[in-house]
Amino acid sequence: METTADAPLIVPDPTDPRLTRRVGGIDHTGAAVETSVTVERPLTLFLNGQEIVTMMTIGDYPEYLALGYLLNQNMLRADDEVTGVEHDEELDVVVVRTARATDYQEKLRKKTLTSGCAQGTAFGDLMERFERVRLPAAELRTSWLYRLTHAINTMPSLYLEAGAIHGCVLCREDRPLVYMEDVGRHNAVDKIAGYMFRHRVEPADKIFYTTGRLTSEMVIKTVQMGIPILVSRSGFTAWGVELARQAGLTLIGRARGRRFLALAGEQRIVFDLDPGFVEEESARHRRKGAQDSEP
């Protein structure tokens, strides 16, 4: 599912009353204030009748979140036929049904024993898939990068409305296509993975942008999605850089205003615009960038 229109397919809706709540308090002077805070709620995921996990999420796009989570945990295969996705908003439950019979009792039991956050036992599976991926050839023009980061950083978002949230954006050239937010960066990534699976989006010419740090998790999931370029406002971890180099992923961090730093896959970058012609960020967006280091 591709588009030729200029407008993104999905963008944050900071006016959605389900996603924020007004809360009263006091500021540093003792004066009474009221501010928006991000709402988080539980969402329990079932696969073919088996309870898989309960996630804390802002609650939008539960179908994409469920599909992306299952994909990134190797419980859903790329060639699986999904026969239904049902969301019950009152019960905070989403059920994914597939034509293939599934039983992940042993995998779930191991997770309970080894990792409270249910990530540790998935690591072996993730790395096995990671090592098999061969990323496509692609290019990243610096003119695209500058226009893209400016468009994303100035776009209305729940992040600017209430903070305490991460954003991930699927892009092509200098255009944001799908912008997802959530309280955890892994949720935002999973929503985009689920969107790509549901709509059979081709990854070879895409760019993945995140407000969060360029960690091993971000690199692994981007590579698993088959996207050759990962960009962030934030910095790097050493293991994230090592894995990006191993996979041939173009890894760009600290992308703010006219500046960026590439630590892997530099051969894809085409320098077609003099940075001197690029505007620096406004003070407002520098403040936003400082908040992007939130865990």
pLDDT higher than 80, residue 293: no
What is the C-alpha to C-alpha distance for residues 131 and 129, in angstroms, rounded to an integer?
6
Q: 185-199 and 216-224 are packed helices; what angle lies between their axes, rounded to 10 degrees? A: 0
More confident position, 228 or 8: 228
> Largest Cα–Cα distance of the chain, in whole Å?
60
Mean pLDDT across the stretch 140-157? 92
Note the pLDDT tens digit of each residue in 190-206: 999 999 999 999 999 99
More confident position, 65 or 106: 65
Percent of the chain residues past pLDDT 70, beyond the cut: 86
Chain-wide mean pLDDT for the chain? 86
Q: What is the fold, at CATH topology level, of the domain defined by 140-291? A: Cytidine Deaminase; domain 2 (3.40.140)
Cβ contact 244:263 at 8 Å: yes
DSSP code for 92: T
- To which residue do tokens 């180099």 refer? 245
Q: Could you list the beta-strand ranges (E) of the chain.
A: 20-26, 32-38, 41-47, 50-57, 82-88, 93-98, 140-141, 166-172, 175-182, 206-210, 229-232, 250-256, 259-264, 269-270
Mean pLDDT across the stretch 62-68? 97
Cβ contact 161:36 at 8 Å: yes
Q: How confident is the model at residue 127 (pLDDT cuts 50, 70, 90)?
A: confident
